[in-house]
Amino acid sequence: MTKYPFIPVNIPLLDGNEKKYLNECIDTGWISSEGKFVNQFEDQFANRLGRNYAIAVTSGTAALDVAIEALLIGPGDEVILPAFTIISCINQVIRSGATPVLVDSDPLTWNMNLQQVEEKITEHTKAILVVHIFGLPVDIDPILELAQKKNIKIIEDAAEMLGQTYNEKPCGSFGDISTFSFYPNKLVTTGEGGMIVTNDKQLADDCRSLRNLCFQPKKRFVHERLGWNYRMTNIQAALGLAQLERLDEFVQRNLAERAGTTDEMIWLLDKYASPVGRSGLYATRKDYLRLGIVIANDWKSDTCIGKYLRDVEKNKISKGSGGGFYGGFFHFDRNASMKGHGGQRIIIDWNSGSVLALNAKTDDYDFKNNFESISPE
């Protein structure tokens, strides 16, 4: 069996302004949940996503707890969510007395099966909890359309999506309420931490109250609602602010590491340049493809891959570009931007010799007739 190098989800980089901001916290004495860095982190995070409000909390799990409670989800309500996700997504649904309704995963993307989402909507459906898996956005437009028609709230779990986009918009900008995690395996980390974002002022106010034990401004120790102590500390926020400043850099580093910058890391191929198994590609804006997609002979094809190849200047696709020719694959040059082709989903099944171009069509395309040589050099 071929052994591949271990690929960590993410390795934190802490060589920016982290020490500077942390030292400022220590020097000023503002180390708990009060201090300027909490506000700055929230404001800059909201701006980054184009959201009106951001509420910093202690973890991604805490963010989900607060989001579900803020939407007043409770007994008699149903929440649709994927079966393949962390338990944090279902915890507060169960605690609230609501009924979780699970949908299976799409076998090609591992994200929630959109057809099952529609099939499982009932008159009791209060919310759909959309969870983007492993940096791959859910095809969320059809879900948003469904939710609008049925007056269903969208909770968007974007814990693994900071810096990713869907149809030119930041992931985390689609839900009535959206959540993020800053655990160390995420692109931006605060050690432990999370964020809630929304455009709804009432939801934002409720989330701030819920993270702070529901203390009231005028009657501090009169509690009309139960909340949590989920306040992010100023020290955590200082770390997060320094990390957020470098998000674009982190995204590009992550893409480079996974796009095959070394011979043994070429996507879709083993180290002997032989096609293996079923492989998938999902490309959005600013993804630069150094991994191989074979060039379609039919440039006028209406498939996603055909559209992309037709629209991209051919001189940006060259044999041997960026690392050589592998098994009939061409490498797209780094200048071949995916802008305008966000959401291309391409699945190559080497075992059956077919290509699935999922966005435009669901047909199987005969590999040998539609594509150039697949034999390794």
Q: Catalytic site residues?
A: 186
DSSP three-state, residue 21 = helix
CA dihedral 310, 312, 315, 319 (to 10 degrees): -80
Q: Are 233 and 33 in contact (CB under 8 A)?
A: yes
Backbone conformation region of residue 91, classed left if phi is above 0, alpha if psi is from -120 to 50, else beta: alpha
Note the maximum CA span of the chain. Answer: 76
β-pairing, 153-157 vs 177-181, is parallel
* Single-letter amino acid, residue 7: I
The span from the CA of 355 to the CA of 353, in Å, is 7
Q: Are 277 and 350 in contact (CB under 8 A)?
A: yes
> Residue 351: what are its φ and ψ, rounded to 5°?
-65, -40
The span from the CA of 111 to the CA of 165, in Å, is 15
**CA distance readout (Å), 152 to 54, 71, 128, 186, 329:** 22, 11, 7, 29, 44
The span from the CA of 176 to the CA of 147, in Å, is 10
Q: Are 209 and 228 in contact (CB under 8 A)?
A: no
> Residue 44: what are its φ and ψ, rounded to 5°?
-70, -30
